[in-house]
Structure 1
Amino acid sequence: MIVCTNDTAVVILSYNGKKWHELFLPEIVAEATTGYDVIVADNASTDDTLEYVQNRFPSVKTLHIPLNRGFSNGYAEALKKIQAKYYILLSADFEVTKGWFPPLLAAMQRYPGLAACQPKIRYWREKEYFEYAGAAGGFMDSYGYLFCRGRIFTELEKDNGQYNDDIEVFWASGGCFMVRADLYHKYGGLDNDLYAHMEEVDLCWRLKNGGYKIGYIADSTVYHVGGSVISYGSPQKLYYNFRNNLILLLKNEKTSRLLWLFPLRFILDGVAGARLLLTGHFTETFTIIKAHFHFYGSLGKWLQRRKECKKQVSHRNESGRMKASIVWQFFVLRKKTFNKLKWEPERLK
């Protein structure tokens, strides 16, 4: 068991991540003087990542996970061995900035109902732009489709200071995710069945169904390389997009909404597959079909997960859930940026 000297443990899950640690760990360690412990959890790397970290950064605590069973399981194995008041789950391909940590800690201390939060996430390769995985906070529409302030589908916005307010969101990015440790464990942590895609959305939804808030803190900024676990645009990414989104809905959605939403999603996903087929994207079409088959093939398992999640539902907090369709807004009305949606999220309070 690692007992942290500070209230916060920054936990970096690493698999063959030496190149990222060479780039980004020096600044993470330098900023630790603002009040956090740094822990690298090595997820059965096959190179010398663990030895490099131990030799180059003596102040960094390390954990070795002998068998790699995926991203979510790596955190499950690591966090049960770390004693802290707060966890920050930080992917290895993130660059932190000077003063990134204090605003996150201040928010968690200021708002007792805040279960988790994220900083502003910008793209490492083009630093003036928001990044795909989280941007300025995550949201969900009434049909279960996900989007961000600063990123709708594949459309990235330039950060011109338009999202510099602290707000309540529906989900926070798992790439840089601060969460109360007691709530993380109480609500079951990251679901390993989701592997490495939407697992943070699932956890945030469970926390919100327990009445808690999820926040975006604008005064903290980090940069993300992206695509280091699952490549953006890959068939694997597409598969998990469709399969895991269905799992999210079945586990966490209201029964009254689920009864009409599931048949509709089946139709909408079919339309997406047909559109890809007509444009010659045969692999992608097959991937969507495979995602649905695998989901329905394990329906009993997902129904059991739903039963377990319902036991912890107390007061559903639906802040960050847009009542309109983001698909309609983006593809039909051509509203490519968040501000054009004419929908304002709630201020964090």
Structure 2
Amino acid sequence: MQPFKNNIWMSLFFLFAVASLHAQQGPPPATVQVTEVVAMEMAPTRLVAAYSKARFITTIQAESSGRVIEIANVGQIVNAGEPLGLIADEEYALRVAELKGAIDSQLAQVEFLQSEAVRLQSLETKNLTSGTALDKNNADLKTAKADLNQARSRLEQLQNDISKLTPKAPFNGFVTQQIAQPGQYLNAGQNLLEIMSSDDLEIIAQLPFKMKEVIQIGNQWQYVDSRGKTYQATVERFIPAATSDSRQIQVHLKDHSDQLLPGEPIQLKVPESLPQTVTAVPRDALVLRRQGAHIFIIRDNAAIKIAVSTGLAEGDLITVTGAVEPGDLVVTRGNERLRDQQNVIILE
């Protein structure tokens, strides 16, 4: 019986030794993903109601008198230079025929006087006609040429007026209102329809005067659309004066999303102060516990637990304060079960 007891004690001693060895060596290395801690400029923001607006809203007027034959429908999308309708004037056809007839008549007169000038010059060399007749021919020829040019000019002007019977879109856009109706007679200068630009939108916001220091041309601000998605916009210009009864500054921003419709409401994230340089980490780097938040910094292939306080956030980044510096490697994956001083294997 004695050898059996000895074997039991030897086995227990071996297990205790192995456990002690593992306790001294610590837990096995953990596999983690890391990224660099960054320094960036950030400022507290507030949401301000804003909206998108078409840069151009134009009323198209009739440039010539006539009856409306066709007109673009409300909502119709048109490109710059495309026709918006057709205005007809029955008198134009008669005037064109009249001017073409006058041109033919003046052209025939010019050709006759040119041939007559050749004949008179031949007779003059033979002393068979007087110089007075030749001078009169030259004067009549100049008058006929002037009348011909004048008739041609009147025809070109009439053809230009005819081209105005088909109004063209001044820019890419869509029709928002029909002011005239088919069959209606319009005088030159009367309103035909309204068109709004479709590919050149801007964002309009009204900001209180206390925020005037943060309004700087070229600043990048974010906005949230009706679906909760975040996009970028650039401060393009602003009116440095109160432009409404609410005594606020009107700010115009250029949208970079190309997904807004004119008049769409949005929430603009406006900085409440000038930005300051802060230390930021991805939100995934934070380990939140009841006693506070901490992160793990990698030093000499070991995870060092650092207690931090959080602050402003922008996108996926959040500011932290604590014993952490820009350039440090912070764990973003595999940090939930990490222990302080635990060795790690970094995934590329």
TM-score by length of 1: 0.17
The structure carrying a bigger strand percent of its residues is 2
Higher normalized contact order (CA 8 Å, seq sep 6+, divided by chain length): 2
The structure carrying a bigger helix percent of its residues is 1
Higher gyration radius (CA) = 2
TM-score by length of 2: 0.17
